[in-house]
Amino acid sequence: VFNVFTGADHLSKLGQMHAWNYQENTGFYDSYCGMTNGSAGEFQPQHLKPGDSVGLFTPDMCRTIPLDYVETVDIEGLEGYKFSGGPRSVDNGTLYPENLCYCGGECVPSGVMNISSCRFGSPVFMSYPHFFNGDRYYVDQVEGLSPNQEDHEFYMVVEPRTGIPLEVAARFQVNMLVEPIDGID
């Protein structure tokens, strides 16, 4: 259940998350990493400016994904601001110390988010497709990967005055941790 602001007390809050399942903190991450903030995707803040960042709360990961302004684009004749989930969005404190609270105890190289606690203890890790924006370690472990921005970037284009999304490419890859079992080759 998403509890979102209606904008009745202040229009700038329209569509922004207040709580998820009636809780203002997910309980899966420490400090600000566990806060329910950003939007559910339908609306972003109004009157955006170049250089702003927006947040997209995703219940599948029990967290907010920060998206940073990268450029102004044209979508069917409308001006839109493109916000991208760059390396900061998939970092666990390796590159951005403020993200250490997403580490979940045992830190792995940047570019993979450990969401095991959010997924009932299943060894699930999220990344961008082909480990785009991740540590080179991951690409070197799997043959045939070719991360590139055109195919693997996570982004949202937002009309800056209204905060309404014009185009979204929500690209993620689900990874499972598979560990050796004695006696099985």
* pLDDT of the chain, 185 residues: tens digit per residue: 989 988 888 888 888 889 999 999 898 888 888 999 999 888 898 999 999 999 999 999 999 999 999 999 999 999 999 999 999 999 988 899 988 988 867 788 999 998 888 888 889 999 999 999 999 999 999 999 999 999 999 999 999 999 999 999 999 999 998 888 898 87
* Cβ-proximal residues to 165 (8 Å cutoff; 6+ apart), any chain: 41, 42, 44, 156, 157, 158, 159
Structure tokens at 18: 């207040």
Structure tokens at 77: 């004749």
pLDDT, residue 7, reads: 85
94 sits in the region (left: phi over 0; alpha: psi -120 to 50; else beta) called alpha
- DSSP 8-state secondary structure symbol assigned to residue 125: E
Can you tell me whether residue 64 is helix, strand or coil?
strand
Can you tell me whether residue 129 is helix, strand or coil?
helix
Cα gap 86→95, rounded to integer Å: 12
Cα gap 10→8, rounded to integer Å: 6
Cβ atoms 13, 38 nearer than 8 A: no
pLDDT, residue 80, reads: 98
pLDDT, residue 125, reads: 92
- Helices first, then strands: H and E counts in the chain: 2, 10
The number of residues in the chain equals 185
pLDDT, residue 14, reads: 85
Q: How many CB atoms lie within 10 A of CB 126?
A: 20
Can you tell me whether residue 40 is helix, strand or coil?
coil
pLDDT, residue 10, reads: 86
Nearest to 91 by CA among 73, 72, 104, 78: 104
